[in-house]
Amino acid sequence: MLIAIPDVLSPVELARVRALLDAADWIDGNATSGAQSALAKRNEQLPEGSAAAREAGGIVLDALGRSPLFIAAALPLKVFPPLFNRYGDGHSFGTHVDNAIRMQRGSDFRIRSDLSATLFLADPDSYDGGELVVEEQFGDQRVKLPAGHMVLYPASSLHHVTPVTRGRRVASFFWIQSMVRDDGERRLLFELDHAVQDVAGRHGHADPAAIRLTGVYHNLLRRWGDA
């Protein structure tokens, strides 16, 4: 399931994150690459343990915790501390799949990467190219969102970033271990959650149909979820 989540960052949060990133020192993006990715990756990255990365990552994590759409779609158990990259003229990232297990450097924190996330931090009119292309069963999905908006997609997907030919593409990227490992099961729960909210919105949360649907949702989450 690929889903766009609008307005993850407020304008104030976005401005603060960009100020931190614009003033920071950047390194080669292969600092966190696996063997396959290193062959295809041409970009820059904010050092993982830098003060700017920690502060900006904290802002992103706080914003995710306030996003009902993110929580409903991801059912997050653990979120990898957000990383930050930028693509200048000629930079790109060839087709690859993300590592199944992600480990934070210098700690014992690790997650199973069920979902990948890209949070766009640059106005799409400020750069050419730089589209995230996710290969799905029924065709490629090309994603280039407004600054502050985010896309979630299965980490098992083949994906790439097209070459940037003007300006700079700036983004945060990270991975989520979901309480529900299977993408198809997460999709069903997400759709059921929307149905519950629709019925409750039209008839009230005390409506018998809303109560029954809520029970089905939680019983499926109990069956499929790990916490």
Predicted confidence (pLDDT) per residue in 20-37, tens digit: 999 999 998 776 555 555
- Are residues 75 and 182 in contact, defined by beta-carbon separation less than 8 angstroms? no
What pLDDT does 69 receive?
A: 97
Residue where one domain finishes, among candidates 141, 160, 178: 178
* 152's tokens: 């979630």
The whole domain housing 89 covers 3-178
Same domain for 37 and 112? yes
Q: Is the pTM of this model over 0.95?
A: no
Residue ranges for the binding site for Fe cation? 96, 98, 159
Q: How many whole angstroms separate alpha carbon 178 and alpha carbon 191? A: 16
Percent of the chain at pLDDT > 70 equals: 96
State the total domains in the chain.
2
pLDDT of 61: 98
Query: Mean pLDDT, the chain, as a whole number?
Result: 94
- Shared-domain flag, residues 77 and 159: yes
CATH number at residue 189: 4.10.860
Residue numbers belonging to the annotated binding site for 2-oxoglutarate: 169
Residues 167 and 55 in one domain: yes
Q: Kindly state the DSSP code that residue 137 receives in the 8-state scheme.
A: T
Residues contacting 145, CB < 8 A, separation 6+: 4, 6, 120, 124, 151
Residue positions in the annotated binding site? 96, 98, 159, 169
To the nearest whole percent, how much of the chain has pLDDT over 90? 88
